[in-house]
Amino acid sequence: MTNPADHIEIAPIAMYLENQSDPEASRYAFAYTIHITNTGSQPVQLLSRHWYITDARNGVEEVEGPGVVGLQPTIEPGETFQYSSGAIIETETGTMHGSYRMVTANGESFDAPIPMFLLAPPRTIH
């Protein structure tokens, strides 16, 4: 029996939003786009999200809630669902990671891990 999470590929991409950031006020804004691909043989529905957003001082903001960007999408086998959202942290760099709670067409719920990704302005990390 395989784990349904093994059939979910999650690819995050983050981008610094200079025009929405204010370093003097310790406000660093980032946009991120997530691609979620179902490589399995049955549809899955994304029910909720659970994020850990960590700044460079190890301050952690935990975010949980239903769906993503107001949606609880069903992702068919072979399909990719993509969405964009944002995060604000108090330091120039940070990370995000977490999981999506999903359910298969036959009612099996599981957590699909979101790999950790970096939040950093261009040319800050070498």
Structural domain that includes position 8: 4-118
Residue 124 lies in a domain: no
What's phi and psi for 75, nearest 5 deg? -110, 115
Mean pLDDT score, 78-85: 98
Among 37, 32, 117, residue whose Cα is nearest residue 73: 37
d(CA 95, CA 33): 14
How large is the greatest C-alpha to C-alpha distance in the chain, in angstroms?
A: 53
What integer pLDDT is reported at residue 100 of this predicted model?
Answer: 98
* Residue 16 identity: Y
* Residue 29 identity: A
Asked whether the predicted pLDDT for residue 126 surpasses 80, the reply is: no
* Token output for 99: 């999981």
What integer pLDDT is reported at residue 29 of this predicted model?
Answer: 98
The mean of the pLDDT values for the chain is 95
Q: Identify the band that residue 125 occupies on the pLDDT scale cut at 50, 70 and 90.
A: low
Mean pLDDT score, 99-111: 96
Residue 126 lies in a domain: no
Residue 18 lies in a domain: yes
- CATH number of the domain within which 23 lies: 2.60.40.1470
* pLDDT tens-place string over residues 23-80: 999 999 999 999 999 999 999 999 999 999 999 999 999 999 999 999 999 999 999 9
Asked whether the predicted pLDDT for residue 93 surpasses 60, the reply is: yes
Q: Identify the band that residue 1 occupies on the pLDDT scale cut at 50, 70 and 90.
A: low
Count how many domains the chain has: 1
Residue 106 C-alpha from the chain's centroid: 25
Residue 9 lies in a domain: yes
* Token output for 94: 């940070």
